Structure 1
Amino acid sequence: MLRIGFALVGLLISSMCFAAQNTSITESSSISLLDNRFRVDSSINQITFVIYRADKSQPVVLVRPDGHKYYSHRHPDNVRWYQEPSMDIVSIDKPMPGPWQAIGKVTPKNKITLISHLKLSADTLPARLFQSEELKFTARLTSDGKPMVLRDFLDRVKLKVTFTRYVENEDSLIKEARPVPIEIGEFADDGRGLDEKAGDGVFTVKLPISTQPGKYRVRITSGNGVFLRAQEQEVLVYPNPIETSFIQSRQEGKPHQIIFVGEQGMIAPGSLAAHIEHNDNYDVMDVVEAAAATAEAMKVDVTIPSSMNIGQYSWTGEVYATEMGSGRELIFPLSEHTYSVIKDIDLAETRRLQELERLKQAKLLEEKRIEQARAEQRRNSMILIVVGNLIVLFLGFVTWFVLRKIKAKKATIPEMQLEMPKK
């Protein structure tokens, strides 16, 4: 569904940008079609219209006055086409004047809606934001300065707020070197969450500032990557100015403590307050609230009822404060924190078990050392046996070789004697 919404946003964005630049477009109106035909006046520079057709039917084919045909899958760059199983929404820049025709299974509900001076305006974010804070952010879609209430558009528009790490001369960098936008909020005019009313042209979202501290460019973008330049600004994100500490009780009847301390110079004295929801291991919730005790206090101490019942516990909530200097009200949601209650530890028994484990490990180490020494001794004995056998074999070979030489020498002596002549 998001993909469908994002595709439509690209169509709407182009319509917005062109409409904002051309003041000669007629006021918003609807035109009923006669035999699926409609006429575009020469004064119209941009037209956006909705065509309703039979459910699960093929997209219509648009025929220009000169007979040239536009298809949902094949059309020029000045045409943006969004389709659903029973609807086509088409936006055309500089349409050819004259009679047009929509060929397809068009229903009697068909009409063309002309929109002029379409504009999206948005709240300006504070120049200084804090990591982990949460704030309400609103954008408004208007036509001719009036709220845009065409539900066929509004029900399909999905916008998102992105933070991009600030880099000097970002546009001059190659694509791979540019910082990646971080989406921190998506919003729609659907009457959910902080959005007060569906279909009134007002889009509201709860923005969680989840980025790391630093300087960022903030943009409102559509899912298909086309920037909707209703607002683009630079902001600084500072570290969270509130320090949170949890002190778990180890005694029966003594409560746990959650302590919030505001940073000097960032948080106005006396402005801290907290709302905590505590859940025990039976999912029973306790709600605890506390505020700064004095006008100069920079700390809030919240006590949570403790229980020695073994199990897993959790707490969450919100911290409220006021920024010093600007007077801006701050909200910091608290992520879920968990802690456990376990059986009391018998120190004497624990030490005894630890000593037994130490002796066991020492015995294992000694046995391992003895085994290694025996293995070393066996290896040395084998080396001596092998070397001794080699020496014996070598001496035997030398003895055999020497004896063979001596025997061979004795066998050749008679052949070398010469017979002396007789007198």
Structure 2
Amino acid sequence: MLRIWFALIGLLVSSLGYAAQSSSMSLLDNRFRVDPSIQQITFVIYRSEASKPVVLVRPDGKKYYAHRSPDNVRWYQESAMDIVSIDKPMAGPWQAIGKVTPKNKIKLISHLKLTADQLPNRLFLGEDIKFTARLTSNDEPLVLRDFLDRVKLKVTFTKYVENEETLIKEARPVPIEIGEFADDGLGLDEKAGDGVFTVSLPITSQPGKYRVRITSGNGVFLRAQEQEVLVYPTPVQTSFIQSRDEGKPHEVIFSGEQGMIAPGSIAAHIEHTDASNVTVSVEGAAASEEDQKVTLTIPYSGELGNYSWTGKVFATEMGSNRELIFPLTEHTYSVVDDIDLEETRRLQEQERLKQLKRLEEIRIKQEREAKRKRSMMIIAIGNVSAIVIGLLIWFVVRKVKAKRAAIPEMQLEMPKK
């Protein structure tokens, strides 16, 4: 009886091993079968290093090439890998022809789907949003690391225009990419290769209505989600008051807009760096449930030099109770010596007199240059006039002499009576 149970267990393990082997598509001669129910499929094919891309052969014998394929085929290639995505693939046995490595199995990814968080309909300029998207295959998390490492998710904002599809391409608004992220375990992404993409999205678009598009693409895979959102002006105002008196601290004041920010919900954190490059943290929150303002104080040391501070503001949107995070851009300021007003006025007057003197010298120089040009012009005109007059006199004298010399000859030729 015990032997029978062992035999049954052995058969069960064998059948499970065969099922696992079939699902991974490690088949003889690189052949694999596509089920009729599959509307979109992706092949991940491993081949020898620096080998040519494979040729995919459909069940009817038609071949797909990396350099030549129909519109429903998208091909991504590397030196040792092909990733091919096909919409509405032909059902039946397919074959990959090429230097496919026998140690790696051809992976098929079917029913690939991208699901993402729904963004709030109302966003605020300057806020950061934690955003999560997931890739699944057959409604299960996609954990194929070789594929996920080559997938990038990106979020774009496009200014909303009615009937955008009817406009010519040049007249359509240009999408602005506000975030790109990968399933790499960095930043807010909790675990690499788990099919879950998480990132902090900065809302940088100016107030208005936008189309938000979430896409995932690596040249062969493309899925998109789209929604419309409204971006509102920043509801938290930041003011910095620099102290000029030693012993009196600087102040950073955060004020929430009434009707937008829930009273008592504002909190802030600042990283302050002094002139010696020493950083200290300062933080605080609303003192009561009615406060719409938080004031943080930064000690004033009096040390001369450049200072900077940055940080984050936290608040709650009124009505929706959505938690808001606003990163602060770096602010800088300087501490300099007290200004001596009398000395400053004296130096300013001295500089003014120098400027007047320079202007007077330039004027005199210009007048001298103008006089010199006039003198040269007069001399030139005089010389030309003298030459012209001399030529006229010479011409008249010559005429007179010629006339006198001609009169006797005419008398000798006169006939006698």
4+ residue stretches of structure 1 with deviation over 6 A?
224-227
- Rounded Cα–Cα distance in structure 2 between residues aligned with 1:199 and 1:343: 56
* 1:169 counterpart residue number: 163
Unaligned runs of 5+ in 2: 1-21
Distance 1:346 1:328, change over 3 A: same
Of all paired residues, the percent bearing the same amino acid is: 70
Which digits, 9 at most, give the CA deviation of each residue in 1:349-373, with x for residues without a partner? 3333323222222222222222222
Alignment of structure 1 residues 190-269 onto 2, 5 Å? 190-223=184-217, 228=222, 230-269=224-263
Do the aligned partners of 1:121 and 1:140 also contact (CA within 8 Å) in 2? yes
Q: How far has the Cα of 1:333 moved from its partner?
A: 0.6
Do the aligned partners of 2:154 and 2:180 also contact (CA within 8 Å) in 1? yes
* 2:104 counterpart residue number: 109
* Matching of residue 285 in structure 1 with residue 279 in structure 2: yes
Distance 1:41 1:300, change over 3 A: closer
- Rounded Cα–Cα distance in structure 1 between residues aligned with 2:313 and 2:144: 39
Which digits, 9 at most, give the CA deviation of each residue in 1:146-202, with x for residues without a partner? 333333332322110000111121112222221111100112222221122223322
* 1:4 counterpart residue number: none
- Rounded Cα–Cα distance in structure 2 between residues aligned with 1:142 and 1:373: 86
SS of residue in 2 equivalent to 1:413: helix
Distance 1:168 1:99, change over 3 A: closer
* 1:150 counterpart residue number: 144
Q: What one-letter code is carried by the residue in structure 1 that aligns with 2:362?
A: K
* 1:349 counterpart residue number: 343
- Rounded Cα–Cα distance in structure 1 between residues aligned with 2:218 and 2:136: 22
Aligned length: 394
* 1:305 counterpart residue number: 299
Select between 132-141 and 261-270 the one with higher mean Cα deviation: 261-270
* 1:16 counterpart residue number: none
Match of residue 265, structure 2, among 267, 271, 287? 271
| TM-score of the aligned structures, taking structure 2 as reference length | 0.84
Select between 395-404 and 300-309 the one with higher mean Cα deviation: 395-404
Do the aligned partners of 2:49 and 2:79 also contact (CA within 8 Å) in 1? yes
| TM-score of the aligned structures, taking structure 1 as reference length | 0.83
Q: How far has the Cα of 1:224 moved from its partner?
A: 6.4
* 2:90 counterpart residue number: 95
Unaligned runs of 5+ in 1: 1-27
Q: What one-letter code is carried by the residue in structure 1 that aligns with 2:171?
A: A
- Rounded Cα–Cα distance in structure 1 between residues aligned with 2:217 and 2:190: 23
Match of residue 172, structure 2, among 178, 188, 204? 178
- Rounded Cα–Cα distance in structure 1 between residues aligned with 2:222 and 2:354: 71
- Rounded Cα–Cα distance in structure 2 between residues aligned with 1:157 and 1:202: 12
* Matching of residue 188 in structure 1 with residue 182 in structure 2: yes
* Matching of residue 49 in structure 1 with residue 43 in structure 2: yes
Which digits, 9 at most, give the CA deviation of each residue in 1:291-350, with x for residues without a partner? 233333332222111222222211100112222232222111111111222333333333
Distance 1:412 1:291, change over 3 A: same
